[in-house]
Amino acid sequence: MAYRFDFTSLWDYAPVLVHGVATTVGLTVAGTVLGVGIGIAGAAARNSASRPLRLAVGAYVELIRNTPFLVQLFFIFFGLPSLGIRMPEWAAAVLAMVVNLGAYSTEIIRAGIDATPKGQVEAGASLGMTGPQIFRYIILGPAMGKIWPALSSQIVIVMLGSSVCSQIAAEELSFAANFIQSRNFRPFEVYFAATALYLALAVLTRWILARLGDRLFLKGAARA
């Protein structure tokens, strides 16, 4: 073969890759925590009594789900400054991920909530609990348990999607790969290594989320 593979040249750049992995993990964790938070709030809002609120959240969900993440990212990072809203690239990356995951998880969590038996809500109401209390203590837990696998897949998709944040100079894993490639001109080795790292991250993320789901939501329900 004409091309000689040389993975050793990657060693010099190991710290760059490590930094990239750490940033990707950081972005994902922040994006997930806040994004799922938005999802829960969004799902609650879609079930609320206020029609304008329901419509607004519905529009947000549809708008985000029907436009590419990359464009959302560009809009936030390059477009928003025209309105005087300026933020560092990591913040823009996190914001884009939160906004994106928020829309998807709103939809996913809402499906879980719709699957809650009406009797559960009535039992809560008859004990004198308020709407928000019923949502918080009765509906949410079992609903999250039901949709956790779907939500986990979405989180992995968002983690992988964060690779395009390199485009606004957020120094995550694919930024690291591009950076190294622009210095050692060994694209095959670099992208191969980065892809393997992403795969490992995806497997790890899935594993952690599955454990977390068992921990948080497996109470009672799974013992049925």
Partner 1 sequence: MLEFSFWDILSNLLLAARWTVLLSVIAFVAGGLAGLLVLMARVAPVPPLQRLAKLYIELFQGTPLLMQLFIVFFALPLVGIETSPWTAAALALTLFTSAYLAEIWRGCVEAVPKGQWEASASLAMGFSEQMRWVVLPQALRIAVPPTVGFSVQVVKGTAVTSIIGFVEITKAGTMITNATFQPFLVYGLVGLLYFALCYPLSLSAKALERKLNVAR
Partner 2 sequence: NGGLMATAHADALERITKDKVLRVAVPQDFPPFGSVGTDMKPVGYDIDTAALLAKEMGAKVELVPVTSANRVPYLTTGKVDLIISSLGKNAEREKVIDFSVAYAPFFNGVFGPDSVKAETVADLDGKTVGVTRGSVEDIELSKLVSDKVNVRRYEDNNGTISAFLSGQVELVATGNVVAAAIMERKPPRLPNLKFLVKNSPCFIGLGKDEGPLLEKVNAILTKAKTDGSLAAIAEKWLHAPLPKDL
Partner 3 sequence: MSLVKLSGIRKSFGSVEVLKGVDMTVREGEVVAMIGRSGSGKSTLLRSVNGLERIDAGVIEVDGECVDPGQIDLRALRLKVGMVFQQFNLFPHLSAGENVMLALKVVKRMGKADTRAAAEQALARVGLGHKFDAYPSQLSGGQQQRVAIARSLAMQPKVLLCDEITSALDPELVNEVLSVVRKLAEEGMTLILVTHEMRFAREVCDQLVFMHGGRIIEQGPPVALFDRPSTPELAQFVGMVEAR
- Tokens representing 8? 């050793």
Q: Is residue 72 within the footprint of partner 1 (CB under 8 A)?
A: yes
Whole-angstrom distance, CA of residue 64 vs CA of residue 41: 16
Instruction: For residue 112, state whether it binds partner 1 (rule: CB under 8 A).
Output: no
Q: Does 3 bind partner 1 (CB under 8 A)?
A: yes
Contact predicate 14/21, CB 8 Å: no
Least distance between partner 1 and beta carbon 127 (Å): 33
The residue ranges of DSSP E strands in the chain, in sequence order, are none
With H, G, I as helix, E, B as strand and everything else as coil, classify residue 115.
coil
Of the candidate spans 25-33, 34-42, 124-132, 192-200, the one that interacts with partner 1 by CB under 8 A turns out to be 192-200
> Tokens 């930094």 sit at which residue?
19
Picked from partner 2, partner 1, partner 3, none, the partner binding residue 120 (CB below 5 to 8 A depending on kind) is: partner 3
Ramachandran quadrant class, 100 (left: phi over 0; alpha: psi -120 to 50; beta: rest): alpha
Q: Is 84 in the site for partner 3 (CB under 8 A)?
A: no
Quickly tell me which residue has 């049925």 as its tokens. Answer: 224
Min dist. Cβ of residue 33 to partner 1 (A): 21
Closer to partner 1 by Cβ: residue 61 or 138: 61
Q: From CA 187, how far away is CA 202, in angstroms rounded?
A: 22
Residues of this chain that bind partner 1 (CB under 8 A):
1-3, 62-63, 65-72, 74-75, 78-83, 156, 160-164, 166-167, 174, 177, 181, 187-188, 191-192, 194-195, 198-199, 202-203
